[in-house]
Structure 1
Amino acid sequence: MSKPESTSVKRISLLALGLAVVGGIAFVWTINFGIEITNTLEFCTSCHTMQTNFEEYKESRHYKNNSGVQATCADCHVPKPLGPKLVTKFVAAKDVYHEVMGTIDTPEKFEARRWYLANLVWKRMEASDSRECRSCHDYANMDLSEQSRSARSRHSAAQDKGQTCIECHKGVVHHEPSEPDTNP
């Protein structure tokens, strides 16, 4: 092989490598941008069926409180670590699908499936040991002496038993749905 051909192959290889790096960076940036946009309160509440959830959320301490710290939908429903975050985003695409297909596109249809949907979220939260809750609330950081006697007793017992937050705190932000009547 002559020198000009060898130089040409090296240049093409470097160009291909450079394009792959730039393409990879663009891909990662695009994915990150998509995640950031879909983690906003505005995006989460843009569907008609989420308006009920949004109204409930606005009544909670996670929306408005004396410290001014606000936890948004993504803070509670989207993990911080990249792997679980990507899985959650992939799984959440089904919600968009059901909105578009008309399965949950009205408040009435959403309410009819609410018990089922809430249980999916609760099971996911239990499986992750309430990971998203613990990004703000952690037993190790709780000043139990500042809590009511009941809360102090319950949190202490829950910590000793290794309980997860969602075991006791269903319905903190969203109204806890009633279990459907299974009798025909």
Structure 2
Amino acid sequence: MHLVLNPNDPVVSVRLADEGFAPYVWGNDFSFEVNAYARADRHKKVEHWPLDMITPYRKCYGIDPDEFASFIGAPDSAIFMAYLDDQPVGHVVVSTNWNGFAHVDELAVAACARRHGVAKSLLDVVKFWSHKKKLQGIMLETQNNNIGACRLYERCGYQVGGIDYLRYRGIDPQTCEVAIFWYLLFESQV
């Protein structure tokens, strides 16, 4: 997708996903470059995590819009799409988790639209949605090879709640990929 933005300051808007969700997903590149694996430490800021540098490669999670089709219009889940100057460029899938937290099932921004506040806008909508549902906070997962996402979550007030070194070993026994679980805790709901 070739994105043409307002050169001064593109406008970000977010709204519920509609029938345009699947074509938007199929028509965008959500890959990112991996050039290091971070050694996550829940007691240190992301900027202080040691990095194991590697030969760079592109990572893509293979987003499938059909996986979340039942979320559209469901009472305990939602899909929100972000737009830059009215062009769809990002989405977040959120659901109510069993533990009283909102669970971000997926957050993605098209490669051509990064660094314009799209992901933060989507996280702000998730926060609003979660407060409306009277949930205790938000949880999500990323990996130690997506250092940009880790920095974003930390900037948005999330904290590392857990690190799982074995989560991806069933897919690849030799993987260096580590799951990092992030939480944004709300003040007690009164």
Select the structure of larger CA radius of gyration.
Answer: 1
- 1 or 2, which has the higher strand percentage? 2
TM superposition score normalised by structure 2 = 0.26
TM normalised by structure 1 equals: 0.26
Higher helix proportion (structure 1 or 2): 1
